[in-house]
Amino acid sequence: MIHEILPVGVLACNCSIFGDEQSREALVVDPGDNIAGILEVLARHALKVKGIVITHAHIDHIGGAQKLKQATGAPVYMNQKDTELQKMLDVQASWLGMEPVEPVEIDAPAREGDHLVIGTTEFHVLDTPGHTQGSISLWIPSEGKLVAGDTLFRDSIGRTDLPGGDARQILRSIHDKLLPLAEETVVIPGHGASTTIGREKRFNYFLQGM
């Protein structure tokens, strides 16, 4: 499977572009910004976007979703518990001193247990609240990969001091949903370098004693 990670926008949100070599179907996760760059990657691989997934409704992850939806016609998936945040993108932009972005229309919910399929590859939605109430992660068993949004980072975890954040809940999510995955699972966080579940179990200060 084609997988390109493109850091987008001023906060360098990791946008993941997955593409199936046979069907040329693609899934784009967290198109926060730089839609021109994302479209360029899609064109380079001759991919057609089948779905756009938002790991959570912070503007650096969702900011370009409407533009990408308009350019590709693909539906946008997001967990409904982040609807309140999604409806206040203008407020989020002013917090960060960013230009306002187009309001994003959500087409379908992303719920625990849902599977999105690209070619023959399954993307499983895991509910991982704590950074925000609607934070999800995407687990791709056949690829041994996890797109973790802002729940788990290399050497860190997502901040929980923003509206909707909950410090105990994020640790419970990581403990219950992410740490049971195979140690060699590659974790693609919402920002920064990739890691593995095994490495974070051993070295991530926030996860010691779990």
Binding site for Zn ion (CB under 5 A): 58, 150
| Residue nearer to Zn ion on the CB measure, 96 or 179 | 96
Positive or negative: CA dihedral 159, 77, 144, 23: negative
Question: Phi-psi region for residue 57, left (φ > 0), alpha (ψ -120 to 50) or beta?
Answer: alpha
| Residue nearer to Zn ion on the CB measure, 47 or 178 | 178
Q: In Å, how far are 24, 147, 153, 162, 208 from 195, measured between CA atoms?
A: 27, 11, 8, 25, 16
Q: Shortest distance, CB of residue 104 to Zn ion, whole angstroms?
A: 15
Q: Shortest distance, CB of residue 88 to Zn ion, whole angstroms?
A: 14
| Residue nearer to Zn ion on the CB measure, 19 or 149 | 149
| Residue nearer to Zn ion on the CB measure, 58 or 69 | 58
Q: Shortest distance, CB of residue 188 to Zn ion, whole angstroms?
A: 15
List alpha helices for the chain, DSSP H: 35-44, 59-62, 65-72, 83-86, 89-96, 167-173, 197-203
Question: Minimal CB distance to Zn ion: which residue?
Answer: 58
Q: Shortest distance, CB of residue 164 to Zn ion, whole angstroms?
A: 10
